[in-house]
Structure 1
Amino acid sequence: MMRLDPYLNFNGNTEEVFTFYKKVFKRDFTSLMRFADMPGGEKMSPADKTKILHVSLPVGDSVLMATDVLDSMNQKISAGDNFSISITVDSETEATRIFDALSERGEVIMPLGKEFWSDLFGICKDPFGIQWMINFKANQK
C-alpha cells in the first residue's frame, strides 16, 4: 500500500490554521506534537517550544498534516515551497527506490535516515521543484 497526503508548512500559526480546519471538517486531531516534545526540545526558547512540530487531521480518506517553520532552526518558507507531498510506503526498499528516483536531477533536502518518529524518513525536491517527504515505519497499520 502507498499513501499520499498533503503536508503544509506555516510561519508560526499552524495551531490557529488547524483549529480552523478542525471546525471546518468536524474532525479531531489524530496527532499533535509540539517542538518541546522532540529530543532536544528542552533547549529551545520558550516561544519555539510551544510551536507545532507535527499535527494530523483526517479529512476523508486522507490526512492533512502540518508543522511550524522556525527561524531559530534556519528554516524559511515562501509561496510555492510551503507544502510537501508525504508518501508513506510499506518497505525500506520501496522508500529508497522512490526517494532516489524523485531526487535524481533534483535536490536532497534531508537524506533518508532513521528519525525518532520513523524507521526511514527523507525529504527531497524533484527536478520540477515539488517537495516530497518519504516515510517508512515498520509495523504500521
Structure 2
Amino acid sequence: METQPPMGGLTPHLTIIDGRAAEAIDFYGRAFGATVQNRVPGQDGKRLLHAHLTVNNAALMLNDDFPEYRGGNPEGAPAGVTLHLEVDDADTWFERAVAAGAEVAMPIGDQFWGARYGQVRDPFGYRWSIGGPLKK
C-alpha cells in the first residue's frame, strides 16, 4: 500500500448515489487530477464502502450510498455545498473539468475581488469552485 499524505484541517467526504462511486473516482481523476490513495469495497462487492483520494494536495473521501445504514434519511449532493480548489492556473483546471464532463455553473472570469474564478457542477451533483490568481 502506498504511503498516504497526512490529513489535517477539514476533509470533505462525499456520498455518491446510484452506485456511481467508481465512476466518480474516474471523473475526479480526469477533471481534477485526483489520485487514489485507498479503496475499500463493500461487502456486497458492488458498492464502494470508502475511497481516499488526493486532489490538489488535499484529501477527498467518498463512498457509495448505503441506504440500509442511514435510517431512511435522504442522501445525495447537498445544494448548499461548494468544494473550492485554489490553484495556480484556474483556466487550465476549469477547462480540464469541463472537458471531462463537468457542467459550467458560473463561467470563469476575472472577479472584482481580484481572482480568476468560476464554478462547475460535476456529474454527481456537486458544485466545485475553481480560483486562482489573475492572468498577467
In the superposition, the TM-score normalised over structure 1's length comes to 0.42
TM-score (norm 2): 0.44
